[in-house]
Structure 1
């Protein structure tokens, strides 16, 4: 499969290395700044360099694209790629709002191409095992899930140059960057969400204009909390921030009427390498014990980046989907449902109301 990559940040640290490792032919790279695209092309021996994604889409014999651009560009890029008959992997955050996400999902739904969203956290070993155990009835009926993700600079906050991720209106913020991954996991484990409440906050808004050194203010969040009520019963609450010096990392705790599951994770949201850690206990046990991660669920261990192993498993699913003519999960429908919840959290934060989520 011949694939082009649009975006060279996360695109060069995870996407391109994963594609090459899984046998895809990366034939083109695109970035708004030609020197960055050229640098990536030289690093990975990619033959074609573009600054306009539409020129990349017109490349002869191109089969697929990976969209790793800022979220404000995702809708047009994804829809244009699908119209051009290209298979698509789109990074999260999926879109700027649920209206855009719906358009992207519908375009994919009415096409013959494979479309996935890059929620690779689904493919972390401990989280895949968590899904299996929940489906097997390990915890019984869900009562509640508690999620914490707390990190921050050890030397305190110092204003940095402003960027796209500092603007909420451009899809920036800790909620969309990492909270979206957890929303996807929670939906995977417990089903559709019926209502949402939440808050977002910016503790350290100070930024610097790199052009003149003047002070600017970020509008994106660096802290959030939300509670999801599930259609099938039970709820999940998450607290997240990247503005907590000496933050302790995080934990996922799942409590049901039949048992408990606990899996720790690092400050970047990933389970400790290589395959994560999972604890559990069922009614009648003496206490929590470490649970085995079956070899069949072990992520590929890739010491270049913690995220590469799960992402390579997602790429394997993508390849299977292209071969089989379907869109594996997480697909663009999952991106749309996640975006509904993200929008609802922000709406709840601004109105103080609990927001109902429509279910198809």
Structure 2
């Protein structure tokens, strides 16, 4: 069935409204229904997008028999139940990251997807950004020889404010908040994509800016989740990766990824949390000076001026659509979501125990 004849329902209207809805519509899907907790806000999103059906009950949306797929863009606490319900209802599923609250939930989601025979993928669109895709090609082609070490630094000032920032689900542990899950999961997925499975992990979580304002009571409350983290991953195939990140540092310095191998180095930088459409890879091989490499045109098949995240996400939607046509679940799929969740759990366990956690 061509995507123009397919219908999808979108649950969660933050990132769902900003990226999921325009991405699916641009790729020929009909967004037939949306669901949000606040009916007035959901109705505004639906009206702006030309969607006629609005729900505040995700179960009612999932129960519609005219939907081919469901996109889940809610906070993580809802992912497990919604994904399983949608799969059992015969829907193909695209689920936002972080995938689940823990590996037990993630395994149940993966198992349900496999038993359903439906296409089930995770919203790790960073794989499709030009920088990340080109680094994957260079690594696979042996540009820097055998992989040895990767370092990632990400320093932003989103939580550096004159007054305490408002309390949201991102500061709630039961809701699956925290920087490690929200952004670290993207980078962990990318590291697995480049270097293979993770054998062991150590890490530390921190709360550098704990004070928040409860919008309802106006009282000062404390964050339950990390706004800074660091981890070290050792890979089954050899090599080590480290990452240190914070949303509570000033001035912001963006992100820098350095990949080092036996013969050379690859460097990718970006000004914010997300890779850009025009990102460049700087490289050195066999002792030559660092120089920018021309990114192959295939990794920027089009641009989308509405939001710098849309090109990569639309490419993910194309993979999702192709997976449905072929009755497979392309990567990043629910198995990838499980493997990423195992690493996230390992970082949290290591932070509590001070010990390295072996995954396999």
Q: TM-score, normalised by structure 1?
A: 0.96
Describe the superposition over 1:234-277 as per-residue Cα deviations: whole angstroms up to 9, x where unpaired: 10000100001212111100000011111111222323xx3311
Aligned residues: 355
| 2:319 corresponds to 1:277 | no
Cα distance between partner residues in 1 of 2:31 and 2:340? 29
- 2:124 is aligned, of 119, 123, 134, to 119
Q: Give the equivalent residue in structure 2 for 1:214.
A: 219
- 2:292 is aligned, of 279, 283, 290, to 290
| 2:164 corresponds to 1:159 | yes
| 2:251 corresponds to 1:246 | yes
Q: Give the equivalent residue in structure 2 for 1:54.
A: 59
Contact 1:148 1:239 in 2 (8 A): yes
Offset at 1:153? 4.3
- 2:266 is aligned, of 249, 261, 264, to 261
| 2:240 corresponds to 1:235 | yes
Offset at 1:119? 0.4
Cα distance between partner residues in 1 of 2:161 and 2:44? 33
Q: Give the equivalent residue in structure 2 for 1:224.
A: 229
Between 242-251 and 114-123, the greater mean CA deviation after superposition = 242-251
Contact 1:300 1:310 in 2 (8 A): no
Structure 2 unaligned regions, length at least 5: 1-5
SS at match of 2:174: helix
Q: Give the equivalent residue in structure 2 for 1:340.
A: 342
Q: Give the equivalent residue in structure 1 for 2:17.
A: 12
Alpha-carbon RMSD across the aligned residues, in angstroms, is 1.2
Q: TM-score, normalised by structure 2?
A: 0.96
Structure 1 unaligned regions, length at least 5: none
Cα distance between partner residues in 1 of 2:11 and 2:249? 33
Cα distance between partner residues in 2 of 1:284 and 1:267? 30
Cα distance between partner residues in 2 of 1:69 and 1:241? 23
Offset at 1:281? 1.5
User: Cα distance 1:64–1:278, how it changes in 2: closer, same or farther (>3 A)?
Assistant: same
Offset at 1:12? 0.5
Cα distance between partner residues in 1 of 2:227 and 2:336? 24
- Taking the TM superposition and a 5 Å limit, the aligned residue runs for 1:172-187 are 172-187=177-192
Q: Give the equivalent residue in structure 2 for 1:309.
A: 311
